[in-house]
Chains A and B, each alone.
Chain A
Amino acid sequence: MDQLLFEVFNLVAIFTILSIPFLNTKARGILTLSVTGVLTVISSLLAVSVFINGPVEISYSGSWVTGEIPVRIDYLSAWFILTISFTFFTGGWYGFSYMQKYRDQTDNITMHLIAFLLLFTSLIDLCTIQNSLMLLIVWEIMALSSFIVIIFEHDKKETLKAGMNYLIQSHICILFLTMAFMWVKIKTGSFDFLAITKFTSTQPALAGIGLFVFFFFGFGIKAGFVPFHTWLPLAHPAAPAHISGIMSGVIIKIGIYGILRVLTLIETNMITIGYFILTFAVITGIYGVMLAIVQHNLKKLLAYHSIENIGIIGIGIGLGCLGLGYESQILAVAGFGGALLHTLNHSLFKSLLFFGAGNVYLIKHTLNIEALGGLIKRMPHTAYLFLIGSLAICGLPPFNGFVSEFFIYSGLFKGLSSDLFLFILAMLFSILALVIIGGLALICFTKAFGIVFLGEGRTETGDRKPETGEGRNVRPLYLIAAAIVLVGLFPFLLTWPLTKTIGLYLPQTAPESYAQIQELLGTLTRVGWYSLGFAALSALIYFLRTWLVANRQQNTDTTWGCGYTGDPAKMQYTASSFIRTYRKLAEPMLFIKKHKKDAISLYPDQVERETHPGDWIEVLLIDKPLLFSRRFLRRFGFLQNGNIQAYILYGFIFISLAVLLPLIIGKIEILIEFLNHL
């Protein structure tokens, strides 16, 4: 049954991809949307069936190169399959209405749709295949198809540049993975993932850690851990809105899946790995959100928030590893459980936010926060949905972000009762990191929501009537919002699959700690009920207030301007001024290019202020080395002088070298032999 579902899934995808070129544009769109729906149903059925009937193992014979190809769908795969399917379904649905205005670009759309389906299929397959060579091939398909969907607007120079950046970094990621898999293959002679376990259990712990570091770098580039994050803030704004949502929601999560998968297989010193991941995660989380606040482009801001959320997930994974290392089940459960839950939650609210940003772009044709404002009156649905997403991403109750952050927090606070100084210190820093991330996220999203949707419009340029009404663009967003609220209020719906998935890391759970785990999950359920109670209380107070003031006098007037009666829209607080105090505080740690022209003399000219937030990790790690290598290679620029005679000369030198070199080497060998005989 499960094998049938798996095969049907791939076959449906392949046949659809083959048939897309033979249809007209409208049929292509409808076909892709309906096939995405069908594929979602099939893959969800597969995942649910795994959760009910237990893991599935299917084996394909493969070729003599790959060897046997095992396909194992366990709880971890099923968890990620569910996450990916849901996001692809809402993404496909949203994309269908978002792409209406590009309908005339027929060829471009065809490529996009094919790549979209290819991406969906390859992501689901990546969660199941356990043969390293096949995994690398599917990974490559995934990387290429995501490259194609990102560069949809390839007539823009920035889009193409961001796409190339993404393509190159994806391949560095593949390079790391290839090296890791090669290492295992050479040592054990097998492409099967189980060889990783065999390899690490027979080698000293150091080899296992080394192998993990390779995997972590490889998957970390995909996931966007600092300092491998530089592709994310470029690629997200360049892609169309539904792709940004999917990319942030699930494509980067495949990196998290990879790390979690490797952790189920690898057998080494988990304590070192735990501290290793925790260090990266804390830096990632804080750095991501610190840069997010100073961004002026809404999508770029959201992209930096993806980095921050990867940090939170990483803190969960690190805590889980430390729990495994120190043999504390409760920490392992809180850590891995929090990481898995946050993976799901982030895919929900981040896709919601990106789709919301897409709606803003459709109406205003810009994503510059400073140019927006007052959109709650033009697009109320999008505004309230964006508010729900903002509250969820800040981890505020009663939404889903709080559930997973609470899970990680409770693990971290439980960890404080340990006796090891280093461990307590790690817990303290992780708690501090989570708190600071939460506080900074609050600043960031009050800015994003408040400036973009509230107040008065800041510029009226570029305003056009949207081709489609808001109604059609917000339906998938409502579905996601419903899921967010559902997870936030009733987290017990997820505890059953969650415990099964965490069980992968705790093969021999002791019964007494089982009660502890149940207690933790019970607390989570109660948190959900209290959140519901809170929502009810707020609603009660609001209705009480409305009922009380119903008969009172209510006037409307202009906002109080302290005596100023001119155009109030121009006097509004802007995004830059909102975060100015923060920027001043964080300036030593950030890289902000400023340009200002002050008011001088009695009759000053126009005053100018410009800030361009940069990323010094990108400068240090990518821009500077590139500059140096370019400067070095330029020294050889004289070789390419455009002179045909010179090129013929190069050819002549090359051929003569190729012919003469063996001869000369032969002579030298004879000479050495002769000298040896002396």
Chain B
Amino acid sequence: MVSFVLILLTSLFFTGIVVRTKSTTSGRKGPGIFQPLKDVFRLWKKGSVYSQTTSLIFRIAPSIYISSVLMAILMIPHGNHPGLISFDGDFVMFAYILALGKFLMIVSALDTGSSFEGMGAAREALYSMLAEPAFFVLMGSFALFTEETSFHGIFSALHYGSSVSYMLGALAAFVFIFIAMIENSRMPVDDPKTHLELTMVHEVMVLDNSGFDLGLITYTSHLKFALYGAIISNFFIGSMSYLFSIPVFFCAQICFAVAVGVIESFMARFRLGHNPQFIFILTSVSSLIFFGVLLVMGKFI
């Protein structure tokens, strides 16, 4: 419950910090950190335009998308306080629930019969397919390391051990930051501010969404950021009491947001053809973590 409330709170200002960081690094004053939230509220008040080609799928997809992310958030623990939903193998359901939301968004992009949206849909499907093994291998490494098979078990067992677990945490945080960038279609993979449809990934998928639905989609991407931030913060919280864990949580989230902003300011987007190679790197880094864990545990041959 704690983590659910905390993640919802974070989602309110996370993107604001990213935007603010970007404007600071480029020497602008920039909007307030609640501006992205205000944009979402403005969208929620608007009417909408639908394409003649679309069907019910197009109208229902954003709702399922946001509920898939909410459901995934419910599974995230806060240190050794389990999430509302916690069971053995919950991270499998976590990944598959998120995939369901993605499936419907891809299909709803194809529902418009547009010449551009299929492009974004194809890329989104491919990139998330390529990013998924990294997540599973990483969770597998932690399952190997802690002999636990749930988010809560893994995160609470992670900190009884030596300093090795912190090193693992740092490496895993690196992988997770980039998984989060891919899942949210951020800079090295996709540029959310680009003006050319041919090079977009996520933005081109929602070209025909408007009004309330667009607000839902935008807010969902805020939620998704906060969700991955919460997972990253869990690598460092461990069994602290709330007095310490909550500041650490926000600290980790803000660091993550600033990191995203800095990456976006100083990195150029990859050529689209090179994205799969980049995403493969994540899987190989997580395989390295896996074999590292095997070495540490003395199980390597």
Contacts and interface: CB of A to CB of B under 8 A. Distances in A.
B48 interface: yes
Contacts of A1: none
B111 to A, nearest CB: 4
A105 interface: no
Contact of A431 (B136, B273, B294): B136
Contacts of B137: 428, 431-432
Contacts of B100: 391, 396-397
B126 A417 contact: no
Interface stretch (A159-167, A544-552, A612-620): A544-552
Interface in A509-566: 519-520, 523, 526-527, 530, 533-534, 537-538, 540-542, 545, 548-549, 552-562, 564
Interface string B282-301: 00000000100010000111
Highest count of chain A CB atoms <10 Å: which of B112, B123, B147: B112
Given A374-B53, A552-B47, A556-B49, A406 B71 contact: no
Given A406-B89, A410-B89, A545-B216, A578 B118 contact: yes
A38 interface: no
A495 B26 CA distance: 60
Nearest to B298: A419
Contacts of A526: 87
B118 A572 contact: yes
Contacts of A424: 144, 294, 299
B107 A446 contact: yes
Given A391-B103, A438-B96, A556 B50 contact: yes
Interface stretch (A115-123, A497-505, A580-588, A656-664): A580-588
A410 B118 contact: no
Contacts of B92: 406, 409-410, 413
Given A428-B140, A438-B132, A456-B53, A395 B294 contact: no
Task: Provide the main secondary structure of the chain A interface.
Answer: helix
A451 interface: yes
A205 interface: no
Interface string A412-447: 011011011100100110011001101110110110
Nearest to B92: A409
Nearest to B134: A435
A394 B48 contact: no
B52 A439 contact: no
By size class, the interface of chain A is 35 or more
A64 to B, nearest CB: 55
Which secondary structure dominates where chain B touches chain A?
helix
B165 to A, nearest CB: 17
B99 A421 contact: no
B113 interface: yes
B130 A439 contact: yes
A545 B212 contact: yes
A492 to B, nearest CB: 14
Contacts of B85: 530
A421 B111 contact: no
B283 to A, nearest CB: 8
Nearest to B124: A446
Contact of A443 (B57, B110, B129): B129
Nearest to A451: B110
Contact of A396 (B88, B96, B212): B96
A454 interface: yes
B192 interface: no
A573 B114 contact: yes
Contacts of A554: 47-50
B212 A397 contact: no
Contacts of B97: 396-397, 534
Interface of A: 373-374, 376-377, 380, 383, 387, 391, 394-397, 402, 405-406, 409-410, 413-414, 416-417, 419-421, 424, 427-428, 431-432, 435-436, 438-440, 442-443, 445-446, 449-451, 454-456, 519-520, 523, 526-527, 530, 533-534, 537-538, 540-542, 545, 548-549, 552-562, 564, 568-569, 571-574, 577-582, 584-585
17 contacts: A373-B113, A395-B96, A402-B96, A421-B299, A424-B299, A431-B136, A431-B140, A446-B106, A446-B121, A450-B121, A454-B107, A534-B97, A538-B63, A560-B51, A572-B118, A573-B117, A585-B126
List the 10 shortest-distance A-B pairs measured between CB atoms, nearest first.
A573-B118, A439-B129, A455-B113, A450-B110, A553-B47, A571-B115, A542-B63, A552-B47, A559-B51, A538-B67
